[in-house]
Amino acid sequence: MLELSNYISGAFLIIGALFSLTATIGVLRFPDLYTRLHAAAKAGPVGAGFVLLAVAIAAFDAATALRAIVGIAFLILTAPVAAHLLARAAYLTDVPPDTLTKVNDLENERLSAG
């Protein structure tokens, strides 16, 4: 049982770290702010979430597991709100989307015009 939980926890650690690294490469390589924000918002709930889940599994202690799960819940609650607010603020302050962007629902909303 302890053996199995060690294997599962190690696998989750590697998955979480790999996901964080992938998201960071996305932030480094994507063409404009909005695609970068899309990549960065995934690193929180999935990357750090898997690492905290690994801690919760390996700990074998109710208090530690509860703390890790509270951390995951907090990440899932806050990451979309922060990403949405930052994308809206960036758009309203005239940060241009990439030329490949096809759909733009905020086309008529400008801080300077309205």
Q: Which residues bind another protein (CB under 8 A)?
A: 2-7, 9-11, 13-14, 16-18, 20-21, 23-25, 27-28, 33, 36-37, 40, 43-44, 47-48, 51-52, 54-55, 58-59, 61, 63-64, 67-68, 70-71, 74-75, 78, 81-82, 85-86, 88-90, 92-95, 109, 111-112, 114
The span from the first CA to the last CA of the chain, in angstroms, equals 62
Phi-psi region of 94 (alpha: psi -120 to 50; beta: other; left: phi over 0): left
Cα–Cα dist 77/70, whole Å: 11
